[in-house]
């Protein structure tokens, strides 16, 4: 029992010294250390203090820190605080940042609702691999939200979602493709009859 206590004490001491060394390196201008210190503080549930270190790292050009701040503010529903970080991250091709911006503009979250901007950000997220963003774009083309209605574009974005392994995207694409080929889908009554026959 005493040996377990000694091991735990050594590990705690090692963690504390790494933590102190990281914070000291940050104060000496190491932006990567500021980012790491912020992450360590987040793990300790000291989120506000951690955010300050991450903010410092971002301010001095640490890209991952800026991406993390956008996600942090978005997760806490501080949309205006998240927006500049998300814009920078989206411009670099960070999928989740583009999705977040699309949702902010689609739903008017602390910003003026704008379907054109929402579609633009969702399209970028779709191009970087977000199946949900592809479906959102398809729905925008279906309803004519921020763009003219286009069955061809709607189908195109469902196909992209399907390629990204979206069951809903595949189902919608197949249904539209069958309709385009003149293959009639069974109606609800026909489906029910087939279940009982």
What DSSP assignment string belongs to 131-163? HHHHHHHHHHHHHTSSS---HHHHHHHHHHHHH
Name which residue leads in pLDDT, 184 or 161: 161
The alpha carbons of the chain give a radius of gyration, in whole angstroms, of 24
Residue 49 lies in a domain: yes
The whole-number pLDDT of residue 156 equals: 97
CA distance 146 to 106: 10
The 8-class DSSP code of residue 110 comes to: S
- Of 7-21, 80-94, 100-114, minimum mean pLDDT range: 7-21
Above 70 in pLDDT, residue 197? no
The whole-number pLDDT of residue 169 equals: 95
**Cα distances (Å, whole numbers) of residue 75 to 70, 134, 147:** 8, 22, 29
- Count of CB atoms situated within 10 Å of the CB of 129: 13
* Domain limits for position 43: 20-61
Residue 51 lies in a domain: yes
Name which residue leads in pLDDT, 17 or 84: 84
The whole-number pLDDT of residue 9 equals: 38
**Cα distances (Å, whole numbers) of residue 177 to 22, 133, 134, 155:** 57, 21, 17, 8
- Of 30-39, 72-81, 99-108, 135-144, minimum mean pLDDT range: 30-39
Arithmetic mean of pLDDT, 76-94: 94
Average per-residue pLDDT for the chain:
86
The whole-number pLDDT of residue 23 equals: 81
Question: Which residue blocks in the chain are alpha helix, DSSP H?
Answer: 2-27, 31-43, 47-59, 63-75, 79-91, 95-107, 115-127, 131-143, 151-163, 167-180, 188-196
Triad 166, 71, 79: Cα angle to 5°: 100
* SS3 of residue 125 by DSSP: helix
The whole-number pLDDT of residue 195 equals: 53
Find which of 23-32, 39-48, 52-61, 79-88 is predicted with most confidence, using mean pLDDT: 79-88
Residue 27 lies in a domain: yes
The whole-number pLDDT of residue 12 equals: 43
The 8-class DSSP code of residue 183 comes to: -
- Count of CB atoms situated within 10 Å of the CB of 165: 9
Name which residue leads in pLDDT, 10 or 174: 174
- What is the number of domains present in the chain? 1
């Amino acid at each position: 029992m005493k040996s377990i206590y000694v091991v735990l004490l050594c590990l705690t001491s090692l963690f504390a010294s790494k933590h102190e060394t990281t914070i000291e390196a940050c104060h000496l201008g190491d932006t990567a250390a500021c980012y790491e210190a912020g992450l360590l503080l987040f793990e300790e549930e000291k989120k506000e203090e951690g955010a300050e270190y991450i903010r410092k790292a971002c301010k001095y050009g640490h890209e991952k820190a800026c991406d993390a701040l956008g996600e942090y503010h978005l997760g806490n529903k501080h949309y205006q605080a998240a927006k500049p970080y998300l814009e920078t991250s989206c411009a670099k091709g960070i999928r989740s940042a583009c999705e977040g911006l699309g949702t902010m503009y689609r739903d008017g979250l602390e910003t003026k609702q704008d379907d054109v901007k929402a579609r633009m950000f969702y399209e970028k997220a779709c191009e970087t691999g977000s199946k949900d963003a592809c479906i959102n774009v398809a729905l925008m083309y279906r309803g004519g939200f921020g763009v003219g209605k286009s069955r061809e574009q709607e189908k195109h974005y469902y196909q992209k979602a399907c390629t990204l392994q979206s069951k809903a995207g595949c189902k919608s694409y197949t249904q539209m493709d069958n309709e385009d080929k003149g293959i009639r889908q069974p109606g609800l009554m026909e489906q029910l009859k087939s279940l009982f026959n």
